[in-house]
Amino acid sequence: MTRSQQPGERVALVTGASSGIGLAAATALSTAGFTVYASARKTEDLKRLEASGLRTVRLDVTDEASMVAALAQINAETGPVSVLVNNAGYGLNGPTEELDLVEVRREFETNVFGPLRLSQLVLPGMRGQGWGRIINVGSVGGSFTAPGAGAYHASKYAVEALSDAMRMEVAPFGVRVVLIKPTGVHTEFAGKLSQTVRQTGAQSPYASFNRNMNRVVERMFAGRAPGIIQPIQVAQAIVQAASAARPRSRMVVGLSGHFYLMLRRLSSDRLWDALMRLQFPVTPPRS
């Protein structure tokens, strides 16, 4: 088989497939003819995925032994993974001064180090086939930063850098790396972000900021914020990235995402900061 050819059985592994983008992507890839392994950490999630007709594999992207075991299972059952969708993600919101560094490290383990290690583990098989796709679910937030989400944005900036380096490194082996950059998506993820913000106490100097951030995130979770997209829209981009002969290296999903990226490119730091303060005002406490 030449490096331009696609393997006969296209085996896809989707991380974080218990809900939201991951579930939509696993379902859409299966419909498109891929042999899909939907991964999750919890037994109840795996059972629910199996009931929907998907193959499953237990996988924790923060655990080396779990990643190795998952790939060993897939290799034994169907052969090497030819499409890896690094979707599992964890979001941490809050002012940088008040962030718990344990939680920040956990976020980077999930959002950055897990996808990097999984990519390392699947690449030998992709090189052996002469074909492969590594699809990283990033964010438009990998190109700009909003207050209160510094750690999350930092993790997505890191995913951008790793995707760019890997794209150039693995192209000679017939492997394509695609970065999916959605705008805000109506999923449970936003609700989890909101819960994280609420942990800050009322006496915090950032109390008003946190209240405003909760309001914005809750609107997103409810699907009321303008420009919010649905998981299926991201899933469709993932299928395109997995199927196209020459996929784009970056795929922005959602019109509002294109708008935010253009606005950031055209704005000075001073103007961008002013726009962000309008959305997330910080009221210093009275002395």
Annotated active-site positions, please?
152, 156
Phi first, then psi: give them for residue 227, nearest 5 degrees.
Answer: 85, -5
* Count of residues making up the chain: 287
Residue position matching structure tokens 């950059």: 181
Phi first, then psi: give them for residue 37, nearest 5 degrees.
Answer: -110, 115
Q: Distances from the Cα of 16 to the Cαs of 1, 21, 63, 151, 168, in angstroms? A: 32, 8, 14, 20, 26
Residue position matching structure tokens 């409810």: 222
Which residues does 19 contact at the CB level (< 8 Å), separation at least 6? 45, 187, 188
Tell me the sheet residues that pair with 84: 13, 134
